[in-house]
Amino acid sequence: MTAERLLSTDEVARRLGVKRATVYAYVSRGLLGSRRNADGKESLFAEPEVEAFAATRRRSGPGAETPATQTGITLIAGGELFYRGHDVPTMARIQPFESVATLLWTGDLGYVALTPDPALRRLGEAVTAPLPPAARLTDRLRLIVAAAAAADPLRFDTSPAAVITTARTMLATMVAALPIRTPDRPGAPSAHPSPGVTAVPPSGVSAVFPPTGPAVVFPLAEALWRRLTTAAPSAVGVATLNAALVLLADHDLAASTLAARVAASTRAHPYAVVGAGLAALDGPLHGAASGLAYRMLSDAVHSGDPVATVSDRLRAGAAAPGFGHPLYPDGDPRARALLEMQRRRPGTGMSSARGGPSSAETTVADLASAMTQRSGIAPNVDFALAAFALLNGMDADAGEAIFAIARTAGWIAHALEEYSDRPSRFRPNGRYAGRLPGAD
């Protein structure tokens, strides 16, 4: 029997036509398996698996049997990310999520409040109340969206104005119907206005970080904060959460966005489009990836030895989650922006008494540095999201919930494009590889 041939990282990079860092990114995202050589210093790859992966990439490249999709929403070029021509990391530092959602849906960067429907909020709370304590926030979001759809007799109106109105109410209700963990402080302004009351547009938003101005600058972000952690909201913490929502609002034709567009192509209503996106987001290689990174970071913080934590994972044959991205060989700009904002925040409950970085913050930074220096792979947005959740006392599923709420804005933007295109255009032909009729 012929022994399985193993390829080095350089050989794999040449076969796939990518950089070494991209190969490591494929491994970190679970797309390609690897093992260590005898001295543990080099990654080796099974040749058949590499060939199968290369064939998959060829099928998904030019000439694949998927309809061409022209979009004017998101551009990823030169390692940078843009929404309708606007630099996303820059917007994340200065714009409320509400304004960026409007940009995605209409092309205009203008603030419009997201106000929950009180009846739909009560319905969402009622349908999620029987869920067990172990239910994830995204489990609740799926039920809230489905219940809101059932209660909306006009949900099949896919005219642009109706879709945008539905989206604004749906997004606000998704957040408002989640259980509150941080009660409002006596006398503090509310980030989620009463029914029928329009929130005051942020007037003090500037390029300064930490932000200055009114106590409540990012209404949806503060409302979400109170549902993710028991820690009192701070101006910088809420601003960083708002930034995460902006950074994650869209990412071209990611798997969940493609699922949302397929649903919209059949003229499914906006709630069903979001439901399709939430279903695809549920996988550990997509929206749930930050939860895997959170657990690794939590282990590192509790052990106090980030290098040993990563070493144990590699020794067990598992990849270190939260590193590398095939679209950003030189580093994920979303992660850079989010990690930078977290480094500039003042001390929180996890910081040291002297106001400097806490041991948890130091451990997170050391783990990122060790991976980057050792393998040349920079943290991606899943790592940054996991670090944000961990350092602010949030549970492991918080990052996934942030991702889901943020990406809802993008799914709606893509649905608006799809509603204006030819219906039911996603119908690729399968290549039958099973038993032929009449075969013995």
Supply the pLDDT for residue 246: 98
How far is the C-alpha of 246 from the C-alpha of 239, rounded, in Å? 11
The answer to whether 411 and 257 are in contact (CB under 8 A) is: yes
* Average pLDDT across the chain, whole number: 85
Which two three-digit tokens encode residue 200?
A: 């005051």
Supply the pLDDT for residue 148: 98
Residues 6+ apart with CB under 8 A from 399: 290, 291, 293, 294, 382, 385, 386, 388, 389
Tracing tokens 């022994």 back to the chain, one arrives at 3
Q: What 3-state DSSP class applies to 283?
A: coil
* 143 pLDDT more than 90: yes
Supply the pLDDT for residue 288: 84
Least confident among 73-77, 275-279, 332-336, 421-425: 421-425
Supply the pLDDT for residue 345: 59
Least confident among 23-27, 39-43, 433-437: 39-43
How far is the C-alpha of 253 from the C-alpha of 242, rounded, in Å? 22
Supply the pLDDT for residue 57: 61
Q: Which numeric CATH code is attached to 6-59?
A: 1.10.1660.10
Residues 6+ apart with CB under 8 A from 96: 111, 202, 205, 217, 218, 219, 220, 221, 242
Supply the pLDDT for residue 436: 84
Average pLDDT over residues 414-437: 87
Supply the pLDDT for residue 286: 82
* 128 pLDDT more than 90: yes
Q: What is the value of pTM for the model shown? A: 0.79
Supply the pLDDT for residue 2: 52
Q: For residue range 19-30, what is the model confidence (pLDDT) as tens digits?
A: 887 887 778 767
How far is the C-alpha of 29 from the C-alpha of 374, rounded, in Å? 18
Least confident among 13-27, 60-74, 117-131, 274-288: 60-74
Supply the pLDDT for residue 56: 64
* 139 pLDDT more than 70: yes
Any idea where the domains of the chain sit in the sequence?
Answer: 6-59, 75-425
How many residues are there in the chain? Answer: 440
Supply the pLDDT for residue 440: 64
Average pLDDT over residues 25-52: 79
Least confident among 149-163, 202-216, 237-251, 256-270: 202-216
Q: For residue range 318-343, what is the model confidence (pLDDT) as tens digits?
A: 778 899 898 898 899 999 999 999 88
Average pLDDT over residues 59-86: 79
The vertex-254 CA angle with 249 and 258, nearest 5°, equals 105
User: Burial level of 203, CB count in 10 A (0-12/13-18/19+)?
Assistant: exposed
Supply the pLDDT for residue 64: 47
Supply the pLDDT for residue 58: 54
* 61 pLDDT more than 70: no
Q: For residue range 183-227, what is the model confidence (pLDDT) as tens digits?
A: 765 444 444 433 332 334 444 443 344 454 444 479 999 999 999
Supply the pLDDT for residue 350: 43
Confidence of residue 51 (pLDDT cuts 50, 70, 90): confident
Residue 15 or 229, more confident: 229
Supply the pLDDT for residue 248: 98
Domains 6-59 and 75-425 share a fold: no
* 249 pLDDT more than 70: yes
Percent of the chain past pLDDT 90, that is, above it, reads 58
Question: Into which CATH architecture does domain 75-425 fall?
Answer: Orthogonal Bundle (1.10)
Supply the pLDDT for residue 344: 66
